[in-house]
Structure 1
Amino acid sequence: MIDEALAASDPLLSNFLITRCHHLLSEALRAAIGPETGANFHSWAVWGSRKAGVTIRQEDRDQAARDATFVAGCVGGVVGLIVGGLTGQWTGLSLFVSLLVWITLGALTGGFCGYQLARYTRRAASRRILDGNRLVLDDIGRATACYLQYVRDSEANSDEANFASVLETIDEMSRKSRTENLLGRAFTQYESARVGADLDNRVEATYFGNCLAILHEHIRLQPLISQSLPFLIRKCVTERLMTFSVGEETLSVHEDVPPLDEAIFPPALRELTNPELLEFLTPPDGWDTGRSNLEQTRASDWTVLKERMGYIVNLFRTRQLESDVVAAPYDSQQFASIASGQYPARPW
C-alpha cells in the first residue's frame, strides 16, 4: 500500500493514494491504541496531505499570483515614488510628472515581476510539497506499519512480539534523519497509551506521541517548506493561502487557534501531568507559544519552525478527541476510485 502510493508517477494520483494511506494507518493505529484515546499522528496527516494536494494541483496558483502582483506592485510604486522625487529634484522636471511616470513604471514593473515570481514559485512549490508528502509517508508511515505488526504479534502472543526490537528499528530511522530520537519517543508514548489503565493518562500519552511525531516530521520537512515559500512573499502566503480544513472546520494559521468551547481543552488535557510533556511544551525552550491559553498561537511566517509548532501543539491539544479529526477525507466511492488507481469524483 505504501509502496504503491510512493511509486505512482502521476503527482495528483500519488497525493490521493498517500492521503488514503494516512487514513487507513490512522484507523489501524486507533484500533491498536484504543479509539477512546483520540486522534493519532496519521489522523492529522490526512488533513495535511489533503491540503498538500491543493498546492500539488496548483489550485492556489491564481490567488498567489494576485497577492504577489498586488504586494510587488505596491513595493514597486513606493520605489517609484522615491526615484521620481529624486529625479524631479536633480533634473528640474516637474515633480508631478516625474512622480507620475516613476510611480507608474515602478508599480507596473513590480506587479509584473511579482506575478511571474508567484507562478514560478507555485510550480516549484508543487514539486517540493509532493516530495514532502511522499517523505512523510515513507518515513512515519513505515514506522507505524512496523509498530502495528508488533501489536498484532503481541495480541497473538507470538514470540516475534518484541517492542524493544521495534523501537530499535524506529530509533535507527530517527538517527538517519537526525531528529534526536523523536520518532522512537513518539511510539513509546503510543505504546504507553495502548497498555495503560488510566484513560486520562492514555489520552495524554497519545497527544504527546502526536506532538513528538509532528516535530520529527517538521524538522525533516524544514528545507522543503523554506524552499517552497520565497523569502519576499512568505508572510503574505502565510496570511492569504495557509488555510486548511479538518473535517467540516476551516482554519487559518495566521489566526490564533480557536477554542471549541469555554473550557479550551478537553478534560483529559486541561491539567497535564507528564513531566516530559510539560518540559516539551513549557516556554522559553518548549513549543507551547500559547502558554496554555491559545494566545499568540498564530503563525506570521510558516517557514519558522517555532511558529509552526506553537500553532500545531495547541491545535492538537484542543481537538485531540474531536470526531472531525478522525473522519474520512473522502466517501466510499471516492476511496474505491483511488484504490483502483483513478482520480476520485469531485468535490475533493
Structure 2
Amino acid sequence: MDVEAPGTSEVEAITAVPDPVLRNLRITHCYHRLSRALADRTGGSANWCTFAVWASKQVGRTIRREDLARALEHLADPDVVKTLVDALRRVAPLPFDAVADLARRAVLTTARLDEVSDAAARGNLKVFEEIAHEFARYLAFTGPVADFVAALRPGEPPEGQHHLSRAFTRYHQATTTTDPKRRAELLLLANLEVGLHEQTRLQPEIRAALEAPIIDPAELHRRLLDLLLPGNRFTKWLRRVALTLLGRRSALRAATDRLADQARTLARRTVTRHLMTLALPDELLDLSTDLDAPFPPLLVELSDPDLLDLLTRVDPTPDSLRDTAAGDWSDLPDRMHYIADMFRCHAERATLQNPPFTDDQVAAMYDGRLPTGRL
C-alpha cells in the first residue's frame, strides 16, 4: 500500500518542535513515512531512511536518558560503599544500603548525562533537518533529476552536498530500471553515499556524546556531602568541621575519589555501549561485534564500478564481514566500515519497513503528548 510522503513543510514543522523528546519521536515516525514512500517506488528494498528510522529510535533512548540512567543506577561496588560507610562512621552513621543509594544519586547528578542527551538531540536534529528535507523534496519533485540535484551545494561534507547529489541520482535511476540486480546495487550505493555524508556531519556530536560523562571528583565530593550531611548551612559546616577534627575528612575524600574513578569508568563504558547498540525490529545489533547476516543474493557479487570504488574507500575487508566490528565509534572510518556492511547485509530485510510506533503512540505525539508504552 502506497504511503503518503511528508512534504518539506512538515519536515520544517518537526524541526521546530522545541521538546527534544517529542521532536525525536516525530523525526523517527517521519523517517518511516519517507522510507515507505521511496520503497514504494523502488520495489520495497531498504533505502537510507529505512535505517534512519531505527537509528533515530535508538537515539531517542539516549535523549530520554532511560538506558544510561538505568545502567548507572547499578553503581554500588560493595567495597567502595564500605569505604564511604567507614569514613562517615561517628559523624553520619547511616546503614550500608542508605549510603549506596546516596552514592548512586550523587553520581547520577554529577555524570553529566544531560550533556550526552543534548549531544544526541543535536545530532538527531542536524541530520533530519538537512537530509529528511531533501528526501521530502525529492519525493515531491516532478522535473528532471538533474534539476533536483542542481539545488544541492557542491563540495565535500560537512558543508558540501556532493555525496547527496550522487545519491539522489542513484535513487532516481533505481526507480526507472527494470533490472533487479542493477536496482539493488544502485540502492546500496545511494544508501552508502547518504550514510557517508551523514556520518561526516555527525562527527562532532558523536565525539561530544562519548566525551560528555566526565565526573569531577571535587563536584562529586560536594554533592555527596550535601546528601550525606543534611541540614542548614550552619549545620553542614559544623559536621564538616567534625569530619576534619575526627580525621575523617581526608578519608571521605579518598573514598569519594574511588567512587568517582569507578563511576567515570562505568559511565564512559555505558555511553559507548549505548551508542554502539542498534535495536532493529527483530534483532539487537552490537556494533562492537562482527556482523553475521549473509549478503542477500543480489548483492553477493557486485559489479557497479562506482559502488566498487566507494567500497574500496570505506570497506577494508571487501566481500567479507571479517573485522566489521567497530572498535572506536568516534572513528569515522571505523563506523563506515560497519555501516557499509550493515547496509549490504540488511538491504532486503522486510521487517525494517515495520512502523516504529503504534497508531495510538503516533496520535499522542502529534497531539503534543508523550506516548505511553515502550518507545
Q: Could you list the runs of 4 or more consecutive aligned residues of structure 1 that deviate by over 4 angstroms after TM superposition?
A: 66-70, 115-119, 231-236
Normalising by structure 1, we get a TM-score of 0.76
Q: How does 1:122-141 map to 2 (within 5 A)?
A: 122-141=113-132
Shift of 1:32: 2.8
Shift of 1:129: 0.8
Contact kept, 8 Å, 1:192 with 1:205, in 2: the verdict is: yes
Alignment CA distance shift 1:66-1:255 (3 Å): farther
Contact kept, 8 Å, 1:256 with 1:295, in 2: the verdict is: yes
**Letter in structure 2 aligned against 1:306:** P
The residue number in structure 2 matching 1:178 is 159
Shift of 1:345: 2.2
Say yes or no: does 1:269 pair with 2:278.
no
The counterpart of 2:192, out of the listed 205, 211, 227, is 211
The counterpart of 1:257, out of the listed 265, 275, 291, is 291
Q: How does 1:67-86 map to 2 (within 5 A)?
A: none
- Flag structure 1 segments of 5+ consecutive residues without an equivalent: 74-111, 154-160
The counterpart of 2:281, out of the listed 222, 232, 247, is 247
Contact kept, 8 Å, 1:257 with 1:297, in 2: the verdict is: yes
The counterpart of 1:321, out of the listed 336, 348, 365, is 348
Alignment CA distance shift 1:190-1:345 (3 Å): same
The residue number in structure 2 matching 1:99 is none
3-state SS of the aligned residue for 1:297? coil
Shift of 1:236: 6.0
Shift of 1:258: 2.2
CA distances 1:175-211 after superposition (whole Å, capped 9, x unpaired) = 6843460111111110111111211110110111111
Alignment CA distance shift 1:116-1:256 (3 Å): same
Alignment CA distance shift 1:246-1:290 (3 Å): farther
Normalising by structure 2, we get a TM-score of 0.71
3-state SS of the aligned residue for 1:312? helix
Say yes or no: does 1:345 pair with 2:327.
no
The counterpart of 1:167, out of the listed 149, 174, 181, is 149
Q: Relative contact order: is structure 1 or structure 2 higher (C-alpha 8 Å, sep ≥ 6)? A: 2
Shift of 1:252: 0.7
Contact kept, 8 Å, 2:68 with 2:274, in 1: the verdict is: no
**Letter in structure 2 aligned against 1:201:** R
**Letter in structure 2 aligned against 1:11:** P
Contact kept, 8 Å, 2:156 with 2:163, in 1: the verdict is: no
Write the distance in 2 (CA, Å) between the matches of 1:345 and 1:119.
29
Contact kept, 8 Å, 2:69 with 2:108, in 1: the verdict is: no
Larger Rg: 2
The residue number in structure 1 matching 2:311 is 281
Write the distance in 2 (CA, Å) between the matches of 1:169 and 1:175.
15
The residue number in structure 1 matching 2:222 is none
Alignment CA distance shift 1:227-1:198 (3 Å): same
The residue number in structure 1 matching 2:33 is 24
Shift of 1:34: 3.1
**Letter in structure 2 aligned against 1:244:** L
Residues matched between the structures, number: 291
CA distances 1:216-264 after superposition (whole Å, capped 9, x unpaired) = 00100101111111188656643466212111211111111121xxxx1
- Flag structure 2 segments of 5+ consecutive residues without an equivalent: 1-9, 81-102, 213-263
Alignment CA distance shift 1:188-1:235 (3 Å): farther
Contact kept, 8 Å, 2:152 with 2:161, in 1: the verdict is: no
Contact kept, 8 Å, 1:207 with 1:320, in 2: the verdict is: yes
**Letter in structure 1 aligned against 2:308:** L
The residue number in structure 2 matching 1:197 is 178
Say yes or no: does 1:2 pair with 2:11.
yes
Write the distance in 2 (CA, Å) between the matches of 1:247 and 1:139.
26
Write the distance in 1 (CA, Å) between the matches of 2:306 and 2:354.
30
Contact kept, 8 Å, 1:32 with 1:148, in 2: the verdict is: no
3-state SS of the aligned residue for 2:278? strand
Shift of 1:337: 2.0
Quote the RMSD (CA, aligned, Å): 2.7
Write the distance in 1 (CA, Å) between the matches of 2:205 and 2:330.
9
